[in-house]
A = this chain, B = another copy of it.
Amino acid sequence: MLGKVPPRILRQIVFRNLGAPSNRVIVGPGIGIDNTVISLDGFKIIVSMDPVTGAKENLGKIGVDVSTNDVALSGAKPEFLLVSLILPPGTGEESIRYIMRQASSEARRLGVSIIGGHTEYSDIVENPVFVGTAIGWTRRRRIITSGGAKPGENIVIVGYAGVEGTSILASDLEKKLKNMGIPRVIIKRASRLVKSISVVKQALIAADYVSAMHDPTEGGVLGGIYEMCEASNTGCLVDLSSIPVRSETKIICEKLGLDPLKLISSGTLLATVGRDKTVKLVEKLRAKGFKATVIGRVTKGVKKICLFEGREMEIEEPPQDELWRALSKWA
């Protein structure tokens, strides 16, 4: 088994062993919770920590993106980052330089300062591990979470479903996909999608309008919608055909027999927004070059309903991510 530890273990073990209680913690650890919020007399500090173990070529960039994404989802700008780099013995200077230059350039693009961390060699890792802790702060009263959706609001997706998974599949299964007859140019374009897994800029634009934000990682866009509605105690009605999927994603998923909507999807932003603010939100995002699409509505109750080819289906739990299934079968 790879990837996230199952929710049951998190609930029964991890969340029950959290040291001393603190009344400064406004948003603490939980399933589908993207970040932690601490209150310090007038300030709120937003933090998020994420390890990246699967990436090779783009480790530095992805490492910066995943933790800064989570802070930006609160509506606060990620401003600082700590980085722990754990390297297999014998990792050359060139590799360290490559990772750090990439991290630094992505951090600069996002206006994030790398302020500390640790770099060490360890023989218990086979490939470099990048762990980032991103920190932001705000004086705003309202912190956006994945749990703020209200019945009647629209669900908006910014970007395309399954971009992250598409790029991982294209890198890790390159040969396989070629042998299956997928054109080289499609595979190349797909693997380059790794460059679009930051949602920091989109999230900060959206922050002024939305009631909830979430980034769908494992379990894909469907999993992300499920988690956001669960966290908000709502249901939803989503038209699956309206969710944008890139042609590279479609082609690769079709060949491998995967559902793009259940494919790991950092780089996609989900948000809920009042009907009166929806047009404004979509226009603002489009003006900055981001694709924004209304894909459904938040409903009362807890039923998460999808429309697919005219039929209604209920999502009863967040789907298993398609990525692990594909990699364990083909990699």
Contacting pair A126 B129 (CB below 8 A): no
Q: Please name all residues of chain B whose beta carbon is closer than 8 Å to the beta carbon of A10 when the two chains form the complex.
A: 119
3 tightest Cβ-Cβ pairs between the two chains A and B: A19-B107, A17-B104, A22-B113
Contacting pair B3 A121 (CB below 8 A): yes
10 contacts between A and B (CB under 8 A): A9-B96, A13-B96, A14-B119, A17-B97, A19-B108, A20-B107, A20-B113, A28-B115, A29-B115, A124-B129
Q: Please name all residues of chain B whose beta carbon is closer than 8 Å to the beta carbon of A121 when the two chains form the complex.
A: 1-3, 5
A36 within 8 A of B: yes
Contacting pair B124 A82 (CB below 8 A): no
Chain B: minimal CB distance from A32 (Å): 13
Complex-state Cα separation, A38 to B204, whole angstroms: 22
Q: Please name all residues of chain B whose beta carbon is closer than 8 Å to the beta carbon of A80 when the two chains form the complex.
A: 22, 24-25, 36, 38, 47
Contacting pair A20 B116 (CB below 8 A): no
A308 within 8 A of B: no
Contacting pair B47 A100 (CB below 8 A): no
Interface string of A100-120 (1 = CB under 8 A from B): 110110111011111111111
Q: Please name all residues of chain B whose beta carbon is closer than 8 Å to the beta carbon of A18 when the two chains form the complex.
A: 104, 107, 113-115
A183 within 8 A of B: no
Known A1-B89, A14-B96, A22-B80; further 5 A-B contacts with Cβ < 8 A: A18-B113, A18-B115, A49-B133, A82-B133, A133-B133
Within A236-270, the residues touching B (CB, 8 Å) are none
Contacting pair B17 A51 (CB below 8 A): no
Q: Please name all residues of chain B whose beta carbon is closer than 8 Å to the beta carbon of A79 when the two chains form the complex.
A: 22, 24
Chain B: minimal CB distance from A122 (Å): 4
Q: Please name all residues of chain B whose beta carbon is closer than 8 Å to the beta carbon of A25 when the two chains form the complex.
A: 80, 113, 115
Chain B: minimal CB distance from A71 (Å): 11
Given known A1-B89, A82-B36, A131-B84, contact A120–B53 (CB-CB < 8 A)? yes
Contacting pair B114 A53 (CB below 8 A): no
Interface string of A1-45 (1 = CB under 8 A from B): 111110001100110111111101100110001011010100101
Copies of this chain present: 2
Chain B: minimal CB distance from A263 (Å): 18
Q: Please name all residues of chain B whose beta carbon is closer than 8 Å to the beta carbon of A114 when the two chains form the complex.
A: 17-19, 29
Contacting pair A119 B84 (CB below 8 A): no
Contacting pair B108 A20 (CB below 8 A): yes
Contacting pair A17 B101 (CB below 8 A): yes
Contacting pair B125 A125 (CB below 8 A): yes
- Within the complex, which residue of B19, B93, B97, B135 is in contact with A103, where a contact is CB–CB below 8 Å? B19
Given known A2-B89, A20-B111, A93-B9, contact A29–B125 (CB-CB < 8 A)? no
Q: Please name all residues of chain B whose beta carbon is closer than 8 Å to the beta carbon of A177 when the two chains form the complex.
A: none
Chain B: minimal CB distance from A22 (Å): 4
Q: Please name all residues of chain B whose beta carbon is closer than 8 Å to the beta carbon of A84 when the two chains form the complex.
A: 49-51, 131
Within A154-202, the residues touching B (CB, 8 Å) are none
A48 within 8 A of B: yes
A123 within 8 A of B: yes
Given known A13-B97, A89-B1, contact A115–B22 (CB-CB < 8 A)? yes
